[in-house]
C-alpha cells in the first residue's frame, strides 16, 4: 500500500468514524434538542450504577415530565435500549437507561440488587424534573425481571409496565396476577427463543395457552393477542403483542418499539402525541454502524503506515513459499476447519458457569470464560490435527518457515515477535482512542444490532489482561491453519480481497450451519433444536462480525509481514476487548 493510498484510507476511515458518530448524536438528541447525560448513582448495596439520562426540551423542576426506566437484558448495556429511549424522549418522557449491575460501567456482580431495578426506579423518582406519580417501566428480557422486581418493591412508584421479550415469575421476579404488575403490556414474539424459560412452553406462539399467562391476564381462556384486558383506570390493564421476530430483534424492530410507545401513551399522562409509527432510531443505528465500519477500516492503513516507520519496517517481509494443502486435500482440510468448532462449542457450554468454568477473581465473567475454554479446545484439537498432517504428509516438503511461524536459519526471532506484539498494541490503542472519543463527544459506541464495540473501564482492562493469553493462543493457532495449511491458490495469483473472502468463508461457515440447524424448526412453527442452548446461539450472532474481521486482519498482516504474529496478536487484543467490555461480570470484584 503506497503512502498516498494509506493517507487517503486513513482520512476516509476517520471521516466515517466522525460522520457516523455525528449522525448518531443528531438522531439520539433529536437535532440536539434532547439532552443526554452520563450519570452515576449509588445503589442500595453501595455499588456504583451507570446510566444515560435523556431529558426532553423544556423539562425542568418547574415543568416536570413523565418518566420511563428503560432497562436492557443480559449481556447488553444501556445503549442497547436507546431504540426505546430515543422514541420515549422524543415524546416528552424523561428516560433513564441504566447499565444493570455487572454490565457496562456499573459495578459487579451481575444479578445484584434485583438486577438493579429497584435502585434505578428509586433514582428516577428522586429527580425533580420527573413527575413521581407518572412513571413507566420498560425492560427487555432480564431487564423485564428488573422492572417486575422494582414494581414489587415500590408498588406505588410506577404507573405502567412494558415487558419486552420477558416474563413475570422468573429468576426472582414475582409471579404475575390480574392486579400485579400494574397496567402491563407484554411484547413476546412468535419466534422468541426463551419461551421455555419464561412461560414454560417450547413453541413461543403457544404462550397464549399457558396458565401462567392466563393468570397474569385474569382469564380462563387462551389469551388473544392485541385484545385489551382489564382497566387502565384501575391499573389492571393487560395486552399481548406477538411480532414475528426473534428474541434479540424485539429491541431492534420498529413494530415492537411502536407497541411500547403506544402503551406508554395510553397509560402515562403528558408527553407529545407523536404517532407510534413515527420513529427515527434506525438512523441512529445507521450512524453507529458507519462508525463501526470506519474503525475496522482504520486498522489496515494504520498498520501499513506504522510498518513504514524505521522502528517497525524490519517486519516488512514477503510471505514464505507456500507449502499448503491443495486439490481435494484442501477441501477436506476446509471441511475439518469449518466443522471442528461446532461439537466443541456444545462441550464447552455444558459446563457453563459451573465446575472448572465457575467465575473467579482471575476469570470473573461466566460467558467470557466459556468462550475462552471453547477457544482453547478448538486450538488444542487444531494443533493436534495440524501436527499430524505436517509430520505424516508434509514434513519433507515444508518447515515451519513455510507456515509463517519461524524465520529461515533463525527459528523463532523473538525480537521480531516482540515488535509484532508492540505493533498490534499500538494499532489497537489508536482504534480504542476512536471509541473513547466517540463516547466522550457523541455519547455513542460502535454497534449494529447485538454487536457492539464499547470503551472499557479500568476493571474491564484488568479482566482483559486475564483473558488475553488464552485468546491469543487461539488466534495464533488459527493463523497457522489459515496461512500455513489452507493457504489458497498459486503463488501470487490471489488478490488480497480474494484471500480475505476465502478466509472469512473458512471462519464463519460453520456458525451459519449451526444457526440454521438451531433455528430451522423454530421458523417452521416448532421449537428450537436445542432450547436449553438459546443464550449461546444468540451470542453466536456476534461471531459473524468478529470472525469476519479477524479473517481480514489476519490475512492483511500475514501478507504485509510474512508471519502470523502481528495479525494474531491484534485479533486477540480486539476480540478480548470487545468480549470483555460487552459481557457481564459475575464475580464480585
89 has pLDDT over 80: yes
Residues 226, 344 within the same domain? no
Residues 360, 267 within the same domain? no
Residues 236, 353 within the same domain? no
Number of separate domains in the chain = 2
Contact between 181 and 148 (Cβ < 8 Å)? yes
240 forms beta bridges with 186
CA dihedral sign of residues 462, 465, 470, 474: positive
492 has pLDDT over 70: no
pLDDT of residue 8: 95
Q: Quote the domain boundaries for residue 84.
A: 37-278
DSSP 107-157: PSPTTHHHHTHHHHHHHHHH-TTEEEEEEEEEEETHHHHHHHHHHHHSTTS
Residues 424, 546 within the same domain? yes
Q: Is 320 domain-assigned?
A: no
Q: Is 289 domain-assigned?
A: no
198-257, pLDDT tens digit by residue?
999 999 999 999 999 999 999 999 999 999 999 999 999 999 999 999 999 999 999 999
Residues 269, 334 within the same domain? no
Q: Is 530 domain-assigned?
A: yes
Q: Is 355 domain-assigned?
A: yes
CB contact set of 289 (below 8 Å; sequence gap of 6+): 20, 446, 447, 448
114-131, pLDDT tens digit by residue?
999 999 999 999 999 999
DSSP 480-542: HIIIIIS--SSTT-S-HHHHHHHHHHHHHHHHHHHHHHHHHHHHTTS--SSGGGHHHHHHHTT
Residues 240, 337 within the same domain? no
- Span 425-449, mean pLDDT? 96
Residues 497, 427 within the same domain? yes
Last residue of a domain, one of 214, 247, 278: 278
Other Cβ atoms within 10 Å of 367 Cβ, number: 23
Residues 274, 332 within the same domain? no
Contact between 251 and 83 (Cβ < 8 Å)? yes
409 has pLDDT over 90: no
d(CA 154, CA 150): 6
281 has pLDDT over 90: yes
pLDDT of residue 490: 66
pLDDT of residue 491: 59
Report DSSP state, residue 172: T
Residues 334, 272 within the same domain? no
Contact between 254 and 260 (Cβ < 8 Å)? no
- Span 475-493, mean pLDDT? 88
Residues 57, 132 within the same domain? yes
Model confidence band, residue 410 (pLDDT cutoffs 50, 70, 90): confident
Q: Is 305 domain-assigned?
A: no
pLDDT of residue 3: 82
Contact between 222 and 207 (Cβ < 8 Å)? no
Residues 363, 234 within the same domain? no
319 has pLDDT over 70: yes
Q: Is 578 domain-assigned?
A: yes
The CATH number covering residue 171 comes to: 3.40.50.1820
For helices 327-339 and 341-350, the axis angle rounded to 10 degrees is 20
> What are the respective helix, strand and coil percentages of the chain, to the nearest 5?
55, 10, 35
Amino acid at each position: 500500500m503506497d503512502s498516498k493510498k494509506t493517507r487517503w484510507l486513513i482520512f476516509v476511515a476517520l471521516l466515517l468514524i466522525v460522520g457516523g458518530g455525528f449522525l448518531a448524536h443528531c438522531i439520539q438528541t433529536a437535532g440536539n434538542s434532547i439532552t443526554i447525560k452520563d450519570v452515576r448513582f449509588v445503589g442500595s448495596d453501595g455499588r456504583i450504577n451507570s446510566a444515560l439520562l435523556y431529558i426532553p426540551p423544556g423539562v425542568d423542576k418547574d415543568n416536570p415530565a413523565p418518566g420511563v426506566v428503560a432497562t436492557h437484558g443480559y449481556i447488553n448495556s444501556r445503549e442497547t435500549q436507546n431504540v426505546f429511549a430515543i422514541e420515549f424522549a422524543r415524546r416528552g418522557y424523561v428516560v433513564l437507561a441504566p447499565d444493570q449491575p455487572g454490565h457496562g460501567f456499573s459495578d459487579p456482580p451481575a444479578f445484584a440488587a434485583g438486577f438493579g431495578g429497584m435502585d434505578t426506579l428509586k433514582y428516577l423518582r428522586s429527580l425533580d424534573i420527573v413527575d413521581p406519580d407518572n412513571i413507566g417501566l420498560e425492560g427487555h428480557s432480564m431487564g423485564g425481571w428488573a422492572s417486575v422486581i422494582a414494581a414489587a418493591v415500590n408498588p406505588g412508584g410506577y404507573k405502567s409496565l412494558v415487558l419486552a421479550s420477558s416474563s413475570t415469575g422468573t429468576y426472582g421476579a414475582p409471579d404475575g396476577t390480574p392486579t400485579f404488575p400494574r397496567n402491563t403490556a407484554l411484547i413476546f414474539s412468535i419466534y422468541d427463543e426463551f419461551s421455555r424459560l419464561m412461560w414454560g412452553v417450547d413453541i413461543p406462539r403457544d404462550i397464549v395457552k399457558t396458565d401462567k399467562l392466563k393468570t397474569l391476564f385474569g382469564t380462563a381462556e387462551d389469551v388473544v393477542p392485541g385484545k385489551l384486558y382489564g382497566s387502565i383506570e384501575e391499573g389492571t390493564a393487560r395486552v399481548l403483542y406477538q411480532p414475528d421476530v426473534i428474541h434479540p430483534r424485539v429491541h431492534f424492530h420498529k413494530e415492537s418499539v411502536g407497541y411500547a410507545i403506544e402503551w406508554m401513551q395510553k397509560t402515562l399522562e403528558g408527553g407529545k402525541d407523536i404517532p407510534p409509527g413515527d420513529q427515527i432510531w434506525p438512523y441512529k443505528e445507521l450512524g453507529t454502524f458507519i462508525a463501526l465500519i470506519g474503525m475496522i477500516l482504520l486498522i489496515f492503513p494504520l498498520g501499513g503506515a506504522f510498518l513504514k516507520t524505521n522502528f517497525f519496517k524490519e517486519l516488512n517481509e514477503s510471505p514464505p513459499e507456500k507449502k499448503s494443502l491443495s486439490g481435494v486435500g484442501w477441501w477436506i482440510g476446509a471441511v475439518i476447519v469449518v466443522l471442528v468448532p461446532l461439537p466443541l462449542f456444545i462441550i464447552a457450554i455444558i459446563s457453563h458457569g459451573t465446575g472448572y468454568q465457575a467465575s473467579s477473581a482471575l476469570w470473573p465473567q461466566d460467558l467470557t470464560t466459556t468462550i475462552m475454554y471453547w477457544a482453547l479446545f478448538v486450538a488444542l484439537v487444531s494443533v493436534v490435527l495440524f501436527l499430524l498432517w505436517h509430520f505424516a504428509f508434509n514434513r519433507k516438503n515444508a518447515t515451519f518457515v513455510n507456515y509463517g511461524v519461524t524465520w529461515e536459519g533463525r527459528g523463532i526471532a523473538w525480537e521480531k515477535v516482540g515488535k509484532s506484539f508492540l505493533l498490534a498494541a499500538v494499532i489497537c490503542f489508536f482504534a480504542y482512542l476512536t471509541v473513547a472519543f466517540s463516547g466522550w463527544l457523541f455519547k455513542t459506541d460502535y454497534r449494529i444490532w447485538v454487536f457492539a464495540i464499547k470503551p472499557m473501564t479500568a476493571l474491564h482492562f484488568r479482566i482483559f489482561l486475564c483473558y488475553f493469553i488464552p485468546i491469543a493462543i487461539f488466534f495464533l493457532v488459527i493463523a497457522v491453519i489459515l496461512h500455513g495449511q489452507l493457504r489458497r491458490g498459486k503463488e501470487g495469483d490471489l488478490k488480497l480481497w480474494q484471500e480475505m473472502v476465502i478466509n472469512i468463508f473458512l471462519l464463519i461457515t460453520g456458525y451459519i450451519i449451526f444457526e440454521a440447524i438451531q433455528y430451522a424448526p423454530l421458523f417452521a412453527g416448532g421449537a428450537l433444536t436445542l432450547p436449553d442452548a438459546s443464550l449461546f446461539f444468540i451470542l453466536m450472532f456476534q461471531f459473524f462480525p468478529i470472525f469476519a474481521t479477524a479473517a481480514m486482519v489476519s490475512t492483511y498482516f500475514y501478507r504485509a509481514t510474512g508471519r502470523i504474529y502481528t495479525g494474531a496478536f491484534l485479533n486477540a487484543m480486539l476480540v478480548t476487548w470487545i468480549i470483555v467490555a460487552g459481557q457481564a461480570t459475575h464475580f464480585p470484584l
